[in-house]
Chain A
Amino acid sequence: DVKVTQSSRYLVKRTGEKVFLECVQDMDHENMFWYRQDPGLGLRLIYFSYDVKMKEKGDIPEGYSVSREKKERFSLILESASTNQTSMYLCASRGQTSYEQYFGPGTRLTVT
Protein backbone atom coordinates (compact mmCIF):
# COMPACT_ATOMS: atom_id res chain seq x y z
CA ASP A 1 0.00 0.00 0.00
CA VAL A 2 1.22 3.44 -0.99
CA LYS A 3 2.48 5.50 1.90
CA VAL A 4 3.65 9.02 2.61
CA THR A 5 4.48 9.74 6.23
CA GLN A 6 5.26 12.98 8.00
CA SER A 7 7.28 13.20 11.18
CA SER A 8 4.69 15.00 13.31
CA ARG A 9 0.94 15.59 13.20
CA TYR A 10 1.14 18.60 15.49
CA LEU A 11 4.05 20.87 16.26
CA VAL A 12 4.34 24.01 18.38
CA LYS A 13 7.42 26.20 17.98
CA ARG A 14 8.50 29.62 19.11
CA THR A 15 9.23 32.57 16.86
CA GLY A 16 12.81 32.50 15.63
CA GLU A 17 13.30 28.76 16.08
CA LYS A 18 14.64 26.60 13.28
CA VAL A 19 12.03 24.01 12.35
CA PHE A 20 12.45 20.78 10.42
CA LEU A 21 9.49 18.98 8.87
CA GLU A 22 10.30 15.53 7.58
CA CYS A 23 8.53 13.53 4.91
CA VAL A 24 9.20 9.95 3.81
CA GLN A 25 7.63 8.00 0.95
CA ASP A 26 7.97 4.29 0.28
CA MET A 27 6.95 4.25 -3.39
CA ASP A 28 10.31 5.04 -4.98
CA HIS A 29 8.80 8.21 -6.43
CA GLU A 30 11.05 10.71 -8.18
CA ASN A 31 8.93 13.78 -7.40
CA MET A 32 8.22 15.11 -3.92
CA PHE A 33 6.39 18.26 -2.92
CA TRP A 34 5.72 20.53 0.03
CA TYR A 35 2.47 22.51 0.22
CA ARG A 36 0.94 24.67 2.88
CA GLN A 37 -2.80 24.83 3.33
CA ASP A 38 -4.62 27.78 4.83
CA PRO A 39 -8.38 28.42 5.02
CA GLY A 40 -9.67 30.04 1.86
CA LEU A 41 -6.30 29.82 0.12
CA GLY A 42 -6.25 26.15 -0.84
CA LEU A 43 -2.97 24.29 -1.26
CA ARG A 44 -0.03 26.45 -2.17
CA LEU A 45 3.20 24.95 -3.45
CA ILE A 46 6.30 25.86 -1.44
CA TYR A 47 9.03 23.73 -3.03
CA PHE A 48 9.34 20.54 -4.98
CA SER A 49 12.09 18.11 -5.87
CA TYR A 50 12.33 15.99 -9.02
CA ASP A 51 15.42 14.04 -8.03
CA VAL A 52 17.89 13.60 -5.20
CA LYS A 53 19.62 16.90 -4.37
CA MET A 54 17.47 18.70 -6.98
CA LYS A 55 14.86 21.26 -6.00
CA GLU A 56 12.70 23.89 -7.56
CA LYS A 57 10.83 26.80 -6.00
CA GLY A 58 7.08 26.81 -5.96
CA ASP A 59 4.76 29.77 -5.58
CA ILE A 60 5.66 30.74 -1.99
CA PRO A 61 9.27 29.72 -1.19
CA GLU A 62 10.17 32.76 0.92
CA GLY A 63 11.18 31.83 4.45
CA TYR A 64 11.60 28.14 3.58
CA SER A 65 14.31 25.86 2.31
CA VAL A 66 14.35 22.15 1.50
CA SER A 67 16.70 19.22 1.49
CA ARG A 68 16.61 15.94 -0.40
CA GLU A 69 19.63 13.82 0.35
CA LYS A 70 17.89 10.50 -0.26
CA LYS A 71 15.19 9.62 -2.76
CA GLU A 72 12.64 8.65 -0.14
CA ARG A 73 13.06 11.66 2.14
CA PHE A 74 12.21 15.33 1.58
CA SER A 75 12.65 17.85 4.37
CA LEU A 76 11.17 21.31 4.72
CA ILE A 77 13.15 23.78 6.81
CA LEU A 78 11.94 26.99 8.37
CA GLU A 79 15.17 28.83 9.05
CA SER A 80 13.61 31.25 11.54
CA ALA A 81 9.98 30.50 12.23
CA SER A 82 7.53 33.36 12.20
CA THR A 83 3.88 33.53 13.28
CA ASN A 84 2.73 33.87 9.66
CA GLN A 85 4.11 30.39 9.03
CA THR A 86 1.47 28.90 11.32
CA SER A 87 -0.30 26.55 8.93
CA MET A 88 -1.00 22.97 7.85
CA TYR A 89 1.94 21.56 5.90
CA LEU A 90 1.31 18.75 3.46
CA CYS A 91 3.93 16.60 1.80
CA ALA A 92 3.20 14.69 -1.39
CA SER A 93 4.95 12.42 -3.85
CA ARG A 94 4.36 11.33 -7.42
CA GLY A 95 6.03 8.95 -9.83
CA GLN A 96 7.71 10.35 -12.91
CA THR A 97 5.18 8.89 -15.34
CA SER A 98 2.16 9.06 -13.06
CA TYR A 99 -0.57 11.67 -12.75
CA GLU A 100 -1.70 10.61 -9.28
CA GLN A 101 -0.18 12.45 -6.36
CA TYR A 102 -0.13 10.91 -2.89
CA PHE A 103 -0.31 13.06 0.20
CA GLY A 104 0.89 12.57 3.73
CA PRO A 105 -1.43 13.21 6.69
CA GLY A 106 -0.09 16.73 7.24
CA THR A 107 1.69 18.56 10.04
CA ARG A 108 -0.20 21.31 11.80
CA LEU A 109 2.46 23.80 12.83
CA THR A 110 1.77 26.57 15.30
CA VAL A 111 4.37 29.29 15.77
CA THR A 112 3.89 31.37 18.92
Chain B
Amino acid sequence: GQSLEQPSEVTAVEGAIVQINCTYQTSGFYGLSWYQQHDGGAPTFLSYNALDGLEETGRFSSFLSRSDSYGYLLLQELQMKDSASYFCAVRDQGQAGTALIFGKGTTLSVSS
Protein backbone atom coordinates (compact mmCIF):
# COMPACT_ATOMS: atom_id res chain seq x y z
CA GLY B 1 0.00 0.00 0.00
CA GLN B 2 0.90 3.62 -0.05
CA SER B 3 0.13 6.71 1.97
CA LEU B 4 1.02 10.38 1.79
CA GLU B 5 0.81 12.93 4.57
CA GLN B 6 0.64 16.68 4.07
CA PRO B 7 -0.78 19.51 6.18
CA SER B 8 -4.43 20.27 5.52
CA GLU B 9 -4.12 24.06 5.59
CA VAL B 10 -1.47 26.74 5.37
CA THR B 11 -1.96 30.50 5.51
CA ALA B 12 0.47 33.22 4.48
CA VAL B 13 0.60 36.83 3.31
CA GLU B 14 1.52 38.23 -0.07
CA GLY B 15 5.25 38.35 -0.68
CA ALA B 16 6.01 35.69 1.92
CA ILE B 17 7.59 32.25 1.48
CA VAL B 18 5.71 29.09 2.35
CA GLN B 19 6.78 25.47 2.49
CA ILE B 20 4.34 22.56 2.12
CA ASN B 21 5.72 19.28 3.38
CA CYS B 22 4.88 15.79 2.23
CA THR B 23 5.92 12.46 3.69
CA TYR B 24 5.14 9.25 1.91
CA GLN B 25 5.13 5.50 2.29
CA THR B 26 5.13 3.38 -0.83
CA SER B 27 6.05 -0.17 -1.76
CA GLY B 28 8.05 1.13 -4.73
CA PHE B 29 9.15 4.68 -5.51
CA TYR B 30 9.19 6.31 -8.91
CA GLY B 31 9.25 9.99 -8.05
CA LEU B 32 7.31 12.69 -6.19
CA SER B 33 5.06 15.10 -8.06
CA TRP B 34 3.20 18.24 -7.09
CA TYR B 35 -0.07 19.48 -8.52
CA GLN B 36 -1.98 22.71 -8.04
CA GLN B 37 -5.75 22.98 -8.10
CA HIS B 38 -7.69 26.23 -7.98
CA ASP B 39 -11.27 26.21 -6.73
CA GLY B 40 -13.52 24.76 -9.41
CA GLY B 41 -10.58 23.87 -11.63
CA ALA B 42 -8.69 20.74 -12.60
CA PRO B 43 -5.37 19.79 -11.01
CA THR B 44 -2.40 20.97 -13.03
CA PHE B 45 1.16 19.71 -12.90
CA LEU B 46 3.76 21.79 -11.08
CA SER B 47 6.88 19.70 -10.60
CA TYR B 48 8.45 16.27 -10.45
CA ASN B 49 11.43 14.98 -8.47
CA ALA B 50 12.90 11.58 -9.19
CA LEU B 51 16.25 12.22 -7.54
CA ASP B 52 17.29 13.84 -4.27
CA GLY B 53 17.69 17.56 -4.27
CA LEU B 54 16.01 20.77 -5.22
CA GLU B 55 14.27 21.51 -8.53
CA GLU B 56 13.50 25.15 -9.23
CA THR B 57 10.88 26.48 -11.60
CA GLY B 58 10.43 30.21 -11.26
CA ARG B 59 8.88 31.08 -7.91
CA PHE B 60 8.23 27.43 -7.12
CA SER B 61 10.79 24.87 -6.01
CA SER B 62 10.40 21.24 -5.03
CA PHE B 63 12.71 19.16 -2.88
CA LEU B 64 13.08 15.43 -2.39
CA SER B 65 14.93 13.26 0.11
CA ARG B 66 14.42 9.62 -0.78
CA SER B 67 16.20 8.36 2.33
CA ASP B 68 13.71 10.29 4.51
CA SER B 69 10.68 9.57 2.27
CA TYR B 70 10.08 13.30 2.39
CA GLY B 71 9.62 16.17 0.04
CA TYR B 72 8.38 19.73 0.04
CA LEU B 73 7.06 22.40 -2.25
CA LEU B 74 8.45 25.87 -1.68
CA LEU B 75 6.52 28.87 -2.92
CA GLN B 76 8.31 32.21 -2.91
CA GLU B 77 7.08 35.78 -3.39
CA LEU B 78 3.56 34.63 -2.75
CA GLN B 79 0.78 36.19 -4.79
CA MET B 80 -2.97 36.13 -4.24
CA LYS B 81 -3.34 33.88 -7.27
CA ASP B 82 -1.30 31.20 -5.45
CA SER B 83 -4.33 30.58 -3.20
CA ALA B 84 -5.21 27.03 -4.18
CA SER B 85 -4.93 23.42 -3.07
CA TYR B 86 -1.61 21.68 -3.51
CA PHE B 87 -1.27 17.93 -3.78
CA CYS B 88 1.78 15.75 -3.54
CA ALA B 89 1.62 12.47 -5.44
CA VAL B 90 3.68 9.34 -5.95
CA ARG B 91 3.60 6.76 -8.69
CA ASP B 92 2.59 3.37 -7.45
CA GLN B 93 3.64 0.27 -9.35
CA GLY B 94 0.55 -1.84 -9.85
CA GLN B 95 0.37 -5.29 -11.38
CA ALA B 96 0.63 -4.08 -14.91
CA GLY B 97 0.89 -0.34 -14.84
CA THR B 98 1.58 2.72 -12.77
CA ALA B 99 -0.95 5.03 -11.25
CA LEU B 100 -0.47 8.37 -9.55
CA ILE B 101 -1.61 8.28 -5.92
CA PHE B 102 -2.37 11.64 -4.33
CA GLY B 103 -2.21 13.03 -0.83
CA LYS B 104 -5.28 14.70 0.63
CA GLY B 105 -4.08 18.13 -0.33
CA THR B 106 -3.01 21.33 1.39
CA THR B 107 -5.19 24.40 1.07
CA LEU B 108 -3.05 27.52 0.82
CA SER B 109 -4.69 30.84 1.60
CA VAL B 110 -2.76 33.96 0.70
CA SER B 111 -3.94 37.25 2.15
CA SER B 112 -2.93 40.82 1.40
In the assembled complex, A94 has its CB within 8 A of some CB on chain B = yes
Give bound CA distance, A42 to B97, whole Å: 22
Interface residues in B, total, Cβ within 8 A = 25
Check B96 against A54 for contact (C-beta < 8 Å): yes
User: Per-residue CB proximity of A72-86 to B under 8 Å, as 1/0?
Assistant: 000000000000000
Interface residues in A, total, Cβ within 8 A = 27
Check B99 against A48 for contact (C-beta < 8 Å): yes
In the assembled complex, A19 has its CB within 8 A of some CB on chain B = no
Cβ < 8 Å to A, chain B residues 64-112: 87, 91, 94-105
Contact partners of A101 in chain B: CB under 8 A: 33, 35, 45, 100
In the assembled complex, B44 has its CB within 8 A of some CB on chain A = yes
Give bound CA distance, A41 to B3, whole Å: 12
Check A100 against B48 for contact (C-beta < 8 Å): yes
User: Per-residue CB proximity of B3-37 to A under 8 Å, as 1/0?
Assistant: 00000100000000000000000000001010100
Give bound CA distance, A42 to B95, whole Å: 24
Check B33 against A105 for contact (C-beta < 8 Å): no
Check A90 against B100 for contact (C-beta < 8 Å): no
Query: A33-B100, A42-B102, A45-B101 known; A90 and B94 CB under 8 Å?
Result: no
In the assembled complex, A56 has its CB within 8 A of some CB on chain B = yes
Inter-chain pairs besides A50-B97, A101-B100, 18 sampled, C-beta below 8 Å: A33-B99, A33-B100, A41-B104, A42-B102, A42-B103, A43-B102, A45-B99, A45-B101, A45-B102, A50-B96, A56-B96, A56-B99, A92-B100, A94-B100, A99-B31, A99-B50, A99-B91, A103-B42
Listed by A's residue number, 20 A-B pairs whose Cβ atoms lie within 8 Å are: A33-B99, A35-B102, A41-B104, A45-B99, A45-B100, A45-B102, A50-B97, A54-B96, A56-B94, A56-B96, A56-B97, A58-B99, A90-B42, A94-B100, A100-B45, A100-B48, A101-B45, A102-B45, A103-B42, A103-B44
Q: Which residues of A contact B (CB under 8 A)?
A: 31, 33, 35, 40-45, 48-50, 54, 56, 58-59, 90, 92, 94, 99-106
Q: Which 4 A-B pairs have the closest CB atoms?
A: A50-B97, A42-B104, A103-B42, A43-B102
